[in-house]
Structure 1
Amino acid sequence: MILFPAIDLKDGKCVRLKLGDMDTATVYNEDPAAQAMAFEDQGFSWLHVVDLNGAFQGKSVNSAAVGAILKATKNPVQLGGGIRSLAQIEDWLDRGLSRVILGTVAVREPDLVRQACRAFPGKIAVGIDARGGKVAVEGWAEASSLGVIELAKKFEDAGVAAIIYTDIDRDGVLSGINWESTIALAEAVPIPVIASGGLASLADIRRMTLPDARKLEGAISGRALYDGRIDPAEALAILDEARAGLVQ
């Protein structure tokens, strides 16, 4: 059970959106590398990064900021947003990324995901972003006809390291994670699932530790950390205690 702090990048700055709308961006830190260092100092063990401009434009846009983050933190980093080719994947992994998240390309070119998993085992995650139960692409700007579980099942035997599942209707509005849909996805496929979108309070952290949620790899937190609704030390202590209980 990993709590992944999120750094969403827009125009080189650390921001948070509401419901995936770029016009609602709130800037929380103009120095993403400093934010990455702060998360490491707080005790987090992973970092989730999204190139928001890249997701909308279909190419990496905030490369300089991501590069600075990679230099600033020792924590493993996973990155999504605008990564659409094997060459881009290889370049990012060579630069120090621990995991590349493929979203739009997983819908448009599922064979590329399979190729990437073969070429870079353990390094490829699939990002499934959904609105109303249907997968959205191109930075959430376009809806598809695919259901969440339908898409996930396409990659059951591909070697995908994780699925990051985001409920767009909850993202950035602090309404709580969609546990029902997230756990249903985790039960439907053997791929580890990471919950994203809406994590709002320590109640969500405690919910992660309940038996039915323990099959998840973890959850991503953004706005609740930046707004101070979640105390990092308390959240990590809850997860540590739950892990210790499982070991015993």
Structure 2
Amino acid sequence: MRLLPAIDLIGGKIVRLTEGDFSTEEQYGDPYELLKAWQGKVPMIHLIDLEGAKAGEPRHLDVVRYAKSLGFLVQTGGGIRSEASLDAVMETGADRVLLGTKAFTDPDFLDKAIEKYGKRVAVALDAYDGKVAINGWQEATKLDDISVAQDLVKRGIETILYTDIGSDGKLNGPNVTRMKALRQIVNVTLIASGGVTTEEDVKELKMAKIDEAVVGKALLSGKVSIEELIEWEARYA
């Protein structure tokens, strides 16, 4: 099971939010310094442009380029709502690019993205109580997350990042029940995000046959070290 250290960005700084609420912002320093510290320790990272997600266009492509220059595989997203912004993110060399809002509001855009970039295109499916949220989690929809996931697979998406907004930033464990429900209906690379904090969390996700998990606040706050993350990944490979 692959574990992805997460860096969320606002104003050039690493931040974490609770349940996607921008008023809960906590800062954790400089992304360039942290990336340098992680270089050679983990193969892949998760870089999310929260400022871009709120603004509707990417704002931190320089950080993605820097991560690539250090040799990381990069999964990134945030604010990609036009063909031009998608092309700009792809040109950084990002290995996986997450589409969010636009994937649900403009199906034609998603289809064209898949046709152009294939498996490099993934979808960030963010939900609260089973309902999809868009626009940087600031707007709820009536879309059911399970039904949406099924439709994404039919359209050709091979990777889905699922964030349980109610668990995000709380350090109280992921929503394993929801991840199991998704696993039962989609046979694609499935990534868990939100609340992953302990080795037991990783073990439960592995038992649920989840392919990857994002670890954010637990790592940044010091509740888990990058070395522990590496050990867990090896243990539950």
- In 2: Cα distance, 1:135 partner to 1:217 partner: 21
Among 58, 61, 77, the residue aligned to 1:60: 58
The sequence identity of aligned pairs, in percent, is: 37
Offset at 1:18? 0.9
Is the CA contact (8 Å cut-off) linking 1:224 and 1:230 kept in structure 2? Answer: yes
- Following TM superposition, by how much is the alpha carbon of 1:70 offset from its aligned partner in structure 2, in angstroms? 3.1
What residue number does 2:184 align with?
187
Query: Aligned-pair RMSD on alpha carbons?
Result: 1.5
Counterpart Cα distance in 2 of 1:79 and 1:4? 11
In the aligned structure 2, how far is the partner of 1:65 from the partner of 1:172?
22
Matching residue within 65, 83, 86 for 1:86:
83
Q: Are residues 1:223 and 2:217 paired?
A: yes
Give unpaired runs (5+ residues) of structure 2: none
| Aligned counterpart, 1:33 | 32
- Aligned-residue offset at 1:92: 1.6
1:76 maps to what in 2? 73
**Deviation (angstroms), 1:37:** 2.4
- Aligned equivalents of 2:165, 2:186: Cα separation in 1: 21
117-126 or 154-163, larger mean C-alpha shift:
154-163
Q: Give the corresponding residue for 1:246.
A: none
Please state if 1:138 is matched with 2:135: yes
Work out which of the residue numbers 195, 200, 207 in structure 1 matches 2:197: 200
Q: What letter matches 1:5 in structure 2?
A: P
Stretches of structure 1 lacking an aligned partner (at least 5 in a row): 244-248
The two structures have a TM-score, normalised by structure 1, of 0.90
User: Cα gap change, 1:69/1:45 in structure 2, threshold over 3 Å: closer, same or farther?
Assistant: closer
Distance in 2 between residues matched to 1:52 and 1:229, nearest whole Å? 23
Q: Is the 8 A contact 1:135 1:146 kept in 2?
A: yes
5 Å-filtered alignment, 1:13-52, equals 13-29=13-29, 31-41=30-40, 43-52=41-50
- How many residues align? The count is 237
Q: Normalized against structure 2, the TM-score is what?
A: 0.94
**For the residues of structure 1 that align with 2:235 and 2:57, how far apart are their CA atoms?**
41
Q: Is the 8 A contact 1:186 1:192 kept in 2?
A: no
- 1-structure distance, mates of 2:64, 2:92: 10
1:103, CA displacement in angstroms? 0.4
Cα contact 1:106–1:113 (8 A) shared by 2: yes
Shift of 1:61: 1.9
